[in-house]
Chain A
Amino acid sequence: MKLLFEKSLPGSCGRYLPDSDVPEYALPEDALRKTPPALPELSETELSRHYSALSRRTYGVNCGFYPLGSCTMKYNPRINEELAALPGFTEVHPLQPEHTVSGCRAVLDLAEDALCRVTGMDAMSFQPAAGAHGEFTGLLLIRAYHRARGDFKRMKILVPDSAHGTNPASAAMAGFDVVNLPSREDGLVDLDALRRAAGEDTAGLMLTNPNTLGLFDTGIREIADIVHEAGGLLYYDGANLNAVLGVARPGDMGFDVVHLNLHKTFSTPHGGGGPGSGPVGCKEALRPYLPASRLAGAVSPESIGQVRAFHGNFLVVVRALAYLLSLGSDGLLEASETAVLNANYLLHRLSPKYKAAYSGRCMHEFVLTLEDLKSETGVSALDLAKALADRGIHPPTMYFPLIVHEALMLEPTETETKETLDEAADLFLELYKAAHDRPELLKNAPLNTPVRRPDEVAAARNPVLRYTPGEAAQE
């Protein structure tokens, strides 16, 4: 497929701007560029066709089953888009007088109230633009809390080895040292290891609950007590909140700070369709340190400052609020119950052949280990994922969490029908058989996707991140 630059026809254009009716202002000579920028020149028709063609080569939740574990690829209801497109929300400027944007303010207040009730937190900031940004912001709150108490020695953040990779990365970015906590055989936090690790240098613990193995850590109250007694705080990674809406609240489990992924749990566009939104909520004791964008009242002098301009990705919050209000508290509970039911149903359908990394029931997602399949047939988790893509299913998350070998992590979400789950399960079982009978079929997959197997080594070592005029694009 040709790039926009390669389709460029000099002289074409898709602008409909009238002639300027204001006096031209000449910029100083030394501020002017000497050569025009290398921009593609296309008519609006050509441009529109280009992006339509690209959209046909992508795979989204509107195309089919998308069980990408830990990403909660649920359907994004159209009513969210309808409301986010209202001119009262789109034709505004963040600096216009407050009394002219009271509707926008009401959206932020309503969303804060609803999400605080869902999470058991006391306050929330919508500035962070995505999950990892929320983690970083939450950790800055924890740092500010300890420092305000004159407690400068708390430089360690404890992170279980099942955590999302963003947890240790965010902790390191926020200036902490990361202490890796090995999980127990059953995949939960090892309380003895936690007791040994927690101490007067502990700033906090980051935990996802249910964790990335799809297991709810039933020791959470004890975990919270150990960390709190050591003087640390508890950080809740909201990536898996979709399992417990209306059932259990991070605030009641003992967490002090949470981030949410509106683009996962609250049905706003995700991935390339973003932008995301990673609001951070906290208990009362941390409220003074929240980012300084809140419209309400004066900015706290103890605030960590701004982490993004104004109110973050505001229109994403509008979409999430639309979702919250359409479902209501009963609907949120039903969403979580159905998400857990769907995951358990799919796990049950696959379990005659596929081996779960941890036995028993799961929450909203589960992890398979294809170690045995690989040693029997040579077919790896990667090969199976490629074969699934070939057959029109988005592959599950691969090779994560790191503590499971040949891992495939499936999260069907609540918005899939039993028929879709059955079709997917049938395909998984068919491919399991094919792996034994004709493994080369899986090893050569995919054949039908727009891109076959990319060269991952070359992509990691020599990434081409920008178009350079004159250099031929590689197909």
Chain B
Amino acid sequence: MHFPENLQYSESHEWVSFSEDKTALVGLTDYAQHELGDLVFVTLPEEGDGVTAGDPFGEVESVKAVSEVLSPVTGVVLEINVALQDSPASINESPYEAWFVRVGEITGKVRLMNASEYEAFVEGK
């Protein structure tokens, strides 16, 4: 399993990538997609929606079950990855390219881990 160094990770298995323009991309980790299995549907918020750190902002449905995706940050959705809705399988194939939302106006975040901390966290599960 692969956890890029340049990302940060939440305990609920989302990755977040902060950019210099003070926005953040959010997606699901390799561990999450592996546990969920083949994804068949994705529900995303709308641009302009507020998101709260630790609260669900979307859903993913696999052949096994529906799961909520929690936002690692508090802010406003600037952009959604519409392409995901047509190809949820891209989350399984390349989880770190398959971002869900870009969040701006960030005012808070959940406890985040770096790659090695997250790897240890996942191994402890």
* Structural contact, B65 and A461, CB atoms closer than 8 A: no
The B contact surface, by secondary structure, is mixed
Is A457's CB under 8 angstroms from B64's CB?
Answer: no
A-side contacts of B65, CB under 8 Å: 165, 399-400, 402
A461 to B89, CA, bound (A): 11
- The answer to whether A460 has its CB under 8 Å from any CB of chain B is yes
Interface residues of A in 406-443 (CB under 8 A from B): none
Residues of B within 8 A of A405 (CB): 35
Contact A460 B64 (CB under 8 A): no
A460 contacts B35, C-beta separation under 8 Å: no
Q: Hey, which chain A residues are within 8 Å of B120, CB to CB?
A: none
Smallest CB-CB separation from B39: which chain A residue? A457
Q: Is the CB of B61 within 8 A of A457?
A: no
Chain B residues with CB below 8 A from A19, complex form: none
Residues of B within 8 A of A400 (CB): 65
Q: What B residues does A165 contact at CB under 8 A?
A: 65
Is the C-beta of B11 less than 8 angstroms from some C-beta in chain A? no
| Total interface residues in chain B, CB < 8 Å | 9
Residue in B closest to A399 when the chains form the complex, CB atoms: B64
Say yes or no: is A185 at the interface (Cβ < 8 Å to chain B): no
Question: Do the beta carbons of A456 and B35 come within 8 Å of each other?
Answer: no
Q: Which of B35, B63, B65, B89 has the most CB of A within 10 A?
A: B63
Give bound CA distance, A399 to B64, whole Å. 7
Number of interface residues of A (CB under 8 A): 10
B14 to A: closest C-beta gap in Å: 18
B-side contacts of A402, CB under 8 Å = 65
Chain B contacts for A460, CB-based, 8 A: 40-41, 61, 63
B38 near A457 with CB under 8 A, answer yes
Q: How far is the CA of A456 from the CA of B63 in the complex (A)?
A: 6
Which residues of chain B come closer than 8 Å to A461, judged between CB atoms? 40-41
Closest to B89 in A: A457
In the complex, residue of chain B having the shortest beta-carbon distance to the beta carbon of A458:
B40
Contacts of B89 in A (CB 8 A): 457
Bound together, the chains give a CA A335 to CA B5 distance in angstroms of 58
Chain A residues with CB under 8 Å of B40's CB are 456-457, 460-461
B68: nearest residue on chain A (CB-CB)?
A: A180
How far is A448 from B5 in the complex, measured between Cα atoms in Å?
46
Contact with B along A436-475 (1 / 0, CB 8 A): 0000000000000000000011001100000000000000
Q: Which residues of A contact B38 (CB under 8 A)?
A: 456-457
Instruction: Tell me how far the C-beta of B2 lies from the nearest C-beta in chain A, rounded to whole angstroms.
Output: 17
Contact mask B36-72 → A, CB, 8 Å, 1/0?
Answer: 0010110000000000000000000101110000000
CA A461 to CA B61, docked complex, whole Å: 11
CA distance A130 to B113 in the complex (A): 46
Give A58 to B14 CA distance when docked, in angstroms.
Answer: 41
A457 to B64, CA, bound (A): 10
**What sequence of 0s and 1s flags, for each residue 12-36 of chain A, a beta carbon within 8 Å of any chain B beta carbon?**
0000000000000000000000000
Contact flags B20-36 to A (C-beta < 8 A → 1, else 0)? 00000000000000010
With the chains together, A405 CA to B89 CA distance in Å? 21
Question: Which chain A residues (270-303) contact chain B, with CB distance < 8 Å?
Answer: none
Instruction: Specify which chain A residues have a CB less than 8 angstroms from the CB of B64 in the assembled complex.
Output: 398-399
Contacts of A457 in B (CB 8 A): 38, 40, 63, 89
- CA distance in complex: A405, B65 (Å): 12
When chains A and B are docked, how far (Å) is the Cα of A219 from the Cα of B89? 43
State how many angstroms separate the Cβ of B114 from the closest Cβ of chain A: 24
Residues of A within 8 A of B61 (CB): 460
**From residue A167, how far is it (CB to closest CB) to chain B in Å?**
14
| Measured CA separation A419–B105 after assembly (Å) | 66
Which residue, A400, A405, A456, has most C-beta atoms of chain B within 10 A? A456
CB distance from A332 to the nearest CB of B (A): 34
A398: which B residues are within 8 A, CB to CB?
A: 64
Contacts of B41 in A (CB 8 A): 460-461
Q: In the bound complex, how far is the Cα of B36 from the Cα of A456, in angstroms?
A: 14
Nearest to A462 among chain B residues (CB) is B40
Smallest Cβ distance from A133 to chain B, in angstroms?
21
Residue of B nearest to A460 (CB): B40
A460 to B64, CA, bound (A): 11
Closest Cβ–Cβ distance, residue A378 to chain B (whole Å):
12
A165 to B67: give the CA distance in the assembly, Å.
12
Query: Which chain B residues lie closer than 8 Å to A399 at the CB level?
Result: 64-65
Residue of A with least CB distance to B92: A457
Q: B35: nearest residue on chain A (CB-CB)?
A: A405
Query: With a CB–CB cut-off of 8 A, which chain A residues contact B35?
Result: 405
Complex interface residues of chain B between 77 and 124 (CB less than 8 A to chain A) = 89
**In whole angstroms, what is the CA distance A398 to B63 when docked?**
11
Task: Give the distance in Å from the alpha carbon of A456 to the alpha carbon of B38 in the complex.
Answer: 8
Q: For residue A405, which residue of chain B has the nearest CB?
A: B35
CA separation between A400 and B65, bound complex, in Å? 9
Give A460 to B37 CA distance when docked, in angstroms: 13
Q: How far is the CA of A402 from the CA of B61 in the complex (A)?
A: 13
CA distance A304 to B39 in the complex (A): 39
CA distance A381 to B52 in the complex (A): 35
Q: Could you write out 15 A-B pairs with CB less than 8 Å apart?
A: A165-B65, A399-B64, A399-B65, A400-B65, A405-B35, A456-B38, A456-B63, A457-B38, A457-B89, A460-B40, A460-B41, A460-B61, A460-B63, A461-B40, A461-B41
Extra pairs beyond A405-B35, A457-B89, A460-B41 (8, CB < 8 Å): A165-B65, A400-B65, A402-B65, A456-B38, A457-B38, A457-B63, A460-B61, A460-B63
**Top 3 A-B residue pairs of the complex, sorted by shortest distance between their CB atoms:** A460-B40, A456-B63, A399-B64
